[in-house]
Structure 1
């Protein structure tokens, strides 16, 4: 069964621990933990790492993410499931829209995108 064939609840059960780890890794600026669920290609891409580390250094948002979140929904596009939620931060006032994209690759669930806007 493809990830997009699963119910919202099944997808959320899979993705919530992944999001927890990625949010925690952002706050600690920990590349190894942050890239844990990425595809091998992305995790080992020096340009990807450089870009993420630059964002950590330039953005108070990405390094002060609160662990609490309000899940807004799940979208499915081709073979990718996108979970989106309301994100807040410790150091920046206001609310942000965050999304986490997952895809099944070789029978493993992999992150194919993480965005906070």
Structure 2
């Protein structure tokens, strides 16, 4: 069964622990854990790592994230699912839209993107 064939509830149950680890790793500036669920291509891409480390250095938001907030929904397109939620920070005021993009690769759920806007 493709990830996009699963119910919203099933997809959320899969990604909530992943999101929790990624948020914690972002707060700790821990690339190894942060990239744990990424595809091999993304995790080994030096530009990807450089961009993330730049965000950690330049934006307090990305190192002061609260645990994932209110889930807004699940989107599906092609063979990818996107979980969206309200993201907040321990120090930066306001609410942000966060999304976690996943796909099944070789029978494993892999992250294709983690975005906060």
Give the shorter-chain TM-score range. Answer: over 0.9
Following superposition, the deviation at residue 68 of structure 1 comes to 4.4
Give the 4+ runs in structure 1 shifted more than 3 A.
none
Q: Deviations over 1:52-75 (max 9, x none)?
A: 000110111111000141000000
* Counterpart-to-counterpart distance in 2, 1:94 and 1:48: 26
| More strand by percentage | 1
Alignment match, 2:26:
26
* Structure 2 segments unaligned to the other structure (5+ residues): none
Corresponding residue pairs, total: 117
Separation (CA, whole Å) in 1 of partners of 2:68 and 2:75: 21
Once superposed, what is the RMSD of the aligned Cα atoms? 0.6
Q: Match of 1:57?
A: 57
**Retained in 1: the 8 A contact 2:85–2:99?**
yes
State the secondary structure of the residue aligned to 1:82: strand
- Deviation at 1:47? 1.0
Partners of 2:29 and 2:61 lie apart in 1 by 12
Within 5 Å, which residues of 2 pair with 1:86-101? 86-101=86-101
TM-score by length of 2: 0.98
Distance (whole Å) between structure 1 residues aligned to residue 48 and residue 95 of structure 2 = 26
Unaligned runs of 5+ in 1: none
TM-score, normalised with respect to structure 1 = 0.98
Tell me the equivalent position of 1:76: 76
